[in-house]
Amino acid sequence: MTEIYFQKMTPEGYREIEEQIEELKKDRPIKIARLKAARALGDLSENTEYSTAKRDLRHLESRLRFLNKQLTYAQIIQPQGNGKIDLGSTVTIEFLDDHDQMTYKIVGTQEADLAANKLAFDSPLGQAMMNQAAGTSVNVVSPDSTYQVKIISVN
């Protein structure tokens, strides 16, 4: 029996994927028109416009399939609001080695973006903090090192 694997994500992450799909769907007729126009130019074996248009349409279709599959297997997690860290929580932490403070939103794997302070729940830091409350210090075991962080606040 095959077990279905759901991808945990926030409601915002789900909406972002829906928006990406809508944008790609808007581009689809343009890419199809380019392919038709390039095909009309004649000899397809040496037609770079045709090859490029075909490749661009295949890329768009592939991206649409990928995003639709993410939505199909999405498990939207709502924060519990119980003061413990979960998907969707915004967490401020202090790194105990240098006392730097950072604020992260805990998100699903596919939503993670450290430049936007979105931390995946299944990253080493995310795993160490899940289900913890403010005031707790946790050990984080990463591939390169082990360090401690103190959870300052959970929203």
Element (H, E) at 106: strand 101-107
Domain 90-154 has CATH 3.10.50.30: yes
Domain 7-76 has CATH 1.10.287.180: yes
Distance CA 138, CA 135 (A): 10
pLDDT tens by residue, 70-116: 999 999 998 888 999 999 999 999 999 999 999 999 999 999 999 99
Comparing 21-30, 34-43, 145-154, the range with the smallest average pLDDT is: 34-43
- Structure tokens, 18: 């829906």
The whole-model pTM stands at 0.82
The answer to whether the Cα torsion of 103, 109, 114, 116 is positive or negative is negative
Distance CA 65, CA 46 (A): 29
Give domain limits for the chain. 7-76, 90-154
